[in-house]
Structure 1
Amino acid sequence: MQLTLGPVLFGWQRQQLLDFYAEMASQPLDVIYLGETVCSKRRALSLDDWLGLARDLREACSAELVISGLTLLEAASELSSLRRLCDNGELMVEANDLAAVQFLAAKGVGFVGGAALNIYNGHALAEFTACGLQRWVPPVECSAELIRLARAQYLELADVPPLPQIEVFAYGHLPLAYSARCFTARAHNLAKDDCAICCEKYPEGMNMLSQEGTPLFTLNGIQTMSAEVHNLLADYPSLPAAGVDLLRLSPRAQGMEDVIAAFDAVRNGGLPPLAVEGCNGYWHGRPGMLRAEELGVC
């Protein structure tokens, strides 16, 4: 099982990003994703900066480097920037929007299909592999059974490319939805076009509480995320049976070394813990916010 580090989803400042990736270079990671996927107004690093960082990381570690594109495009300028990203000529691209799929398919280059693409069965997966998809990141709400069935259905199809790798979102705040509105700016009574990049004040997003005061969501600019951290560490034994090849760990501002070490220990033969912090309901085909103890699987 390979470990991947997903793109940073939060609005971190330039030095925080550079320091973070300098620390990640020494970690036992097989793939590192770079780039901005949430908001085009976050320009702490430009595309040229990301590519330069990739060159530095290539010298410092053996991990495969991938650059991720935006998930929700809202302007012609963003489409132009996405085309340039797809034309980077150095790194494989993670396509998080159909525009990126179209650009990459036209170029005839392989790509990673991100979790925001609506791929839920073998037939849909075949359509994307015909366009060049080489690695599939299922939508975060997919259960182990859904992924297993989609994989089996794909293998029954005739005249399709080899089954792509399957990469599951295994740790982090789940990216649930994207909106044309910026929730962080709205919380500060700021217009989206004049937001002052206020999301940089929240390196792990803003908590949104229910009327009872219970954490319900994490707001991250235009992105709505789970309040709980999704964690499949205790579910590790069920991952190979679903056909999973890679586990994606989504960056957090603190403690990523410990998270990576825990997953690395289990993939190298260590016993998975009976229970872990966070939620894992989606993996079991239940509401995503449920914890292991609520599911009766620990």
Structure 2
Amino acid sequence: MKLSLGPLTYCWNKISLFEYYQAIADTKIETVYLGEVICSRRREMKYKDYLELAHILTAKGKKVILSTMTLIESQSEISELKRIVDNGEFAIEANDMAAVNLASDANIPFVCGPSLNLYNRGSLDIMQKLGMTRFVMPYELSRAWLEQVLAQSTTQFETEVLGYGYMPLAHSARCFTAKHHQKPKLDCQTVCLQYPKGLLTQTQESQPLLRLNGIQTQSAAKVNLINQIPLMSRIGVDYWRLSPTGLDDIELVNQIASCQHNELIEITPSHSAIECNGYWFGEAGMQIHQGVTAL
């Protein structure tokens, strides 16, 4: 099973973003997703900047996939989407049905991102006929669901599962980060730059609740499925995805890549993030399942 790095969901300044991906270029991650997936008003990075990064990573032996927006709201975003789909060099991750339709019409193979509602074998078969080569399992589904779907396989496509990182829960046309600063969405002044890991919200009892990231709502806890890598490999998962959060990712990736499967359960991230893994085990998503699945 290979390691992949999902698209950055946060708004970082251009210098920090280039430094991060230049460090990623020296890791053993096989596939890197690039692109703005949350909000077109985050203008730190332009299309040409992502292409420049893509070429840097490709020169280091990485396979680059360009990710598309999750929520398309305007004609200008459609135009940008067409430019990404028609880039002529890199594969794409379709995070919206508009991207699926454009890629299919252009006869371009694509990865189905986790925001597409692919909840059964029938929907996956339809996507494959349209050109899907891989799908990222929706984060709220379980190992049991995935095993059942893969057991029904009559044609082959690749499977990718989020293994570590904050989990997207919902998207909205409203920008919650701008609202927090009492700014209109159309004149937000890119306040997301102030929150490189999103804006953590808490309950009245001061317990972590959610993480606001512009129009996206994330889990307050990080999904951690490091100890499930051996089992995922056995049931047919092709890619284990890490969602970017910072330079701590580099150390974690290097540990995972250098360990044998029977050592993976001993790996613990260097920071003290709250973690969860309930969805994978068919439980409430915020739960943390302590046991290790027998191989």
TM-score if structure 1 supplies the norm length?
A: 0.93
Report the aligned-residue RMSD. 1.5
1:283 pairs with 2:277: no
Match of 2:176 among 167, 173, 183: 183
Contact 1:126 1:154 in 2 (8 A): no
**Residues in 2 aligned to 1:56 and 1:62: alpha-carbon distance in whole angstroms:** 9
Amino acid at match of 1:272: L
Determine the structure 2 residue equivalent to 1:147. Answer: 146
**Residues in 2 aligned to 1:30 and 1:274: alpha-carbon distance in whole angstroms:** 23
Contact 2:227 2:292 in 1 (8 A): no
Give the drift of 1:117.
0.7
Determine the structure 2 residue equivalent to 1:26. Answer: 26
Give the drift of 1:297.
4.7
Give the drift of 1:262.
2.9
Match of 1:173 among 166, 174, 190: 166
Determine the structure 2 residue equivalent to 1:159. Answer: none
Give the drift of 1:270.
4.5
Give the drift of 1:49.
1.3
Determine the structure 2 residue equivalent to 1:10. Answer: 10
Determine the structure 1 residue equivalent to 2:75. Answer: 76
Contact 1:122 1:150 in 2 (8 A): yes
Q: Give % identity.
A: 39
Contact 2:20 2:247 in 1 (8 A): no
Change (3 A) 1:171 1:146: same
**Residues in 2 aligned to 1:292 and 1:274: alpha-carbon distance in whole angstroms:** 15
1:254 pairs with 2:247: yes
Give the drift of 1:237.
2.7
Determine the structure 2 residue equivalent to 1:38. Answer: 38
**Residues in 1 aligned to 2:173 and 2:256: alpha-carbon distance in whole angstroms:** 35
Q: How does 1:135-284 map to 2 (within 5 A)?
A: 135-155=134-154, 162-266=155-259, 268-273=260-265, 276=268, 278-284=275-281
2:150 counterpart SS class: helix
**Residues in 1 aligned to 2:22 and 2:233: alpha-carbon distance in whole angstroms:** 31
Amino acid at match of 1:221: G
Give the drift of 1:107.
0.7
**Residues in 2 aligned to 1:90 and 1:24: alpha-carbon distance in whole angstroms:** 21
Q: How does 1:121-136 map to 2 (within 5 A)?
A: 121-136=120-135
Give the drift of 1:83.
1.0
Contact 1:170 1:230 in 2 (8 A): yes
Contact 1:12 1:44 in 2 (8 A): yes
2:151 counterpart SS class: helix
- 237-246 or 207-216, which moves further after superposition? 237-246
- 270-279 or 203-212, which moves further after superposition? 270-279
2:218 counterpart SS class: strand
Contact 1:121 1:153 in 2 (8 A): no
Determine the structure 2 residue equivalent to 1:104. Answer: 103
Please give the per-residue CA displacement for 1:241-294, whole angstroms capped at 9, x wherever unaligned: 43211001011123111220232134x44412268561111110111111123x
Amino acid at match of 1:290: Q
Amino acid at match of 2:77: E
**Residues in 2 aligned to 1:259 and 1:289: alpha-carbon distance in whole angstroms:** 22
Contact 1:120 1:150 in 2 (8 A): no
Give the drift of 1:211.
2.0
Contact 1:69 1:85 in 2 (8 A): yes
**Residues in 2 aligned to 1:55 and 1:297: alpha-carbon distance in whole angstroms:** 39
**Residues in 2 aligned to 1:94 and 1:147: alpha-carbon distance in whole angstroms:** 20
Contact 2:34 2:67 in 1 (8 A): yes
1:213 counterpart SS class: coil
1:272 counterpart SS class: helix
What is the aligned residue count?
Answer: 288
| Unaligned residue ranges in structure 1 (runs of 5+) | 156-161
Give the drift of 1:93.
0.4
**Residues in 1 aligned to 2:131 and 2:181: alpha-carbon distance in whole angstroms:** 42
Contact 2:281 2:289 in 1 (8 A): no
Contact 1:27 1:260 in 2 (8 A): yes
Give the drift of 1:42.
0.9
Determine the structure 1 residue equivalent to 2:84. Answer: 85
